[in-house]
Amino acid sequence: VANRRLLLGIDIGGTKVALALGDADGGLLSASRHEAEVARGPDHMLARIVDEAHRLLGAAEGKLEAIGISCGGALDRRRGLVLNPPNLPGWDSVPVVAHLSGALQAPASLDNDANLAALGEHRFGAGRPFANLVYVTVSTGIGGGIISEGKLVRGLSDSAGELGHQTLDPQGPPCGCGNRGCLEALSSGGAIAREARRAVEESPDEGAALLALASGKPDRLAAWMVAQAAAAGDALAAALWHRAMEYLGLGIANVVSILAPQAVIIGGGMIAAGELLLAPVRSAVRSRVRLVPAEEVAILPAALGPDSALRGALALALELA
């Protein structure tokens, strides 16, 4: 199989970097994951990626045909530049596509992690049956990607799909994007942790169960603790969780009303809450969406877990090959 065609997917994150080697159909052959070592800078990180790629390629036999690269934050897809993502300090207009394409002798393409997670779930995960879907990632922040007729919707300056920054409360809390009352500022893991800290500081008695989960330290409160305490019947945690999920349901209902997707696929760290997250979203979509046949819209957890974007990078390579 020395002339086998190979594809490479790379997911560059702030804590981990992952590589996946795929066959000509994007099927997974092998994968590796290593610490990002962000403090050592982009040159070191790119050299390590090239080493790992050579290691995977050396064990596989075949010819590398194309490379797909996933990265969070601001990037210039046409010029192949990673601009300055918040999770990769020191990366400022780094020519990732030119570097990896040159070092590995294959064409390469770059896209943001939420778009590629959407593409990955569409090609290889929970979104396989659907030509029209919306992927939503709910973790520290909220991001998304839109697949329409089997293709990613990229929009002006590749900025489509940022459904976490729709305004849901004009007077709401400030958001990292500079607006206020965005879905992300109301329903993300970061927002839930922030509200939990505020609530336990205001009412330490009602917040006793939450505080205990955080070893008595409000700044250690995390969204999963709120979910866990809510599931166990704690009233304050349940109120915080319910409010955040109500806004998440509203935000997703808005997207369903606008795009009429066949499916909404929810990924990101907070999907670990399972039905505690999915049930209120399904309920909001069923009750708020009137003109789209909401009962036909599948609302599903992502199937590829932390590998959605990595598999999407392979799907991106498949488009180049």
Q: Hey, what are 113's tokens?
A: 């992690």
Q: What distance in Å separates the CA atoms of residue 180 and residue 178, rounded to the nearest whole number?
A: 7
State the minimum distance, in angstroms, from the CB of residue 139 to Zn ion.
15
For the chain, the residue count is 321
Contact segment (CB under 5 A) with Zn ion among 86-94, 161-169, 246-254, 266-274 equals: 161-169
CA distance linking residue 301 with residue 297, whole number of Å: 13
**Is 177 a residue that touches Zn ion (CB under 5 A)?**
yes
Nearer to Zn ion, 244 or 314 (CB): 244
CB of 81 to Zn ion, least distance (A): 23
CB of 320 to Zn ion, least distance (A): 32
61/300 Cα distance (integer angstroms): 37
Which residue lies nearer to Zn ion by CB, 86 or 274? 86
**Beta strand spans in 36-168 (E):** 63-71, 75-76, 81-82, 108-112, 133-138, 142-148, 151-152
Residues 6+ apart with CB under 8 A from 78: none
Q: Which of 12, 66, 182, 248 binds Zn ion (CB under 5 A)?
A: 182
Size of the site for Zn ion (CB under 5 A): 5
CB of 179 to Zn ion, least distance (A): 5
Rg (CA), the chain: 20
Task: Kindly state the smallest distance separating residue 184's Cβ from Zn ion, in Å.
Answer: 5
Kindly indicate which of the ranges 88-96, 102-110, 175-183, 239-247 contains the residues binding Zn ion, using the contact rule CB under 5 A: 175-183
Cβ closest to Zn ion, residue 175 vs residue 321: 175
- The β-bridge relationship of strands 63-71 and 108-112 is parallel
Q: How far is the CB of 178 from Zn ion (least distance, A)?
A: 7
Q: Cβ closer to Zn ion: 150 or 155?
A: 155
- Taking CB under 5 A as the binding criterion, the range among 19-27, 49-57, 174-182, 311-319 that sits at the site for Zn ion is 174-182
Among 122, 165, 197, 282, binds Zn ion (CB under 5 A): 165
Does the protein bind Zn ion through residue 191 (CB under 5 A)?
Answer: no
Q: What's phi and psi for 104, nearest 5 deg?
A: -105, 0
Q: Select the span of 67-75, 95-103, 159-167, 255-263 touching Zn ion (CB under 5 A).
A: 159-167
User: Is 143 among the residues that bind Zn ion (CB under 5 A)?
Assistant: no
From 54-62, 116-124, 157-165, 252-260, span contacting Zn ion (CB under 5 A): 157-165
Tell me: does residue 175 bind Zn ion (CB under 5 A).
yes
- Report phi then psi at 5, rounded to 5: -85, 130
84 CB burial (10 A radius; 0-12, 13-18, 19+): middle
Tell me the torsion sign for CA atoms 164, 168, 170, 172: negative
Under a CB-based contact definition with an 8 Å cutoff, are residues 23 and 29 in contact? yes
Paired tokens of 301:
């957890």
- Interface with Zn ion includes 179 (CB under 5 A)? yes
Provide, rounded to whole angstroms, the least separation between the CB of residue 253 and Zn ion. Answer: 18
Q: Are 196 and 275 in contact (CB under 8 A)?
A: no
**CB closer to Zn ion, 47 vs 177:** 177
Closer to Zn ion by CB, 82 or 175: give it.
175
Quote the DSSP letter at residue 68: E
Residues 70, 10 contacting (CB under 8 angstroms): yes
- Among the residue ranges 142-150, 158-166, 186-194, 287-295, the one whose residues contact Zn ion (CB under 5 A): 158-166
**Is residue 168 involved in binding Zn ion (CB under 5 A)?**
no
Q: Return the residue matching tokens 């004009």.
A: 170
Q: Which residues bind Zn ion (CB under 5 A)?
A: 165, 175, 177, 179, 182
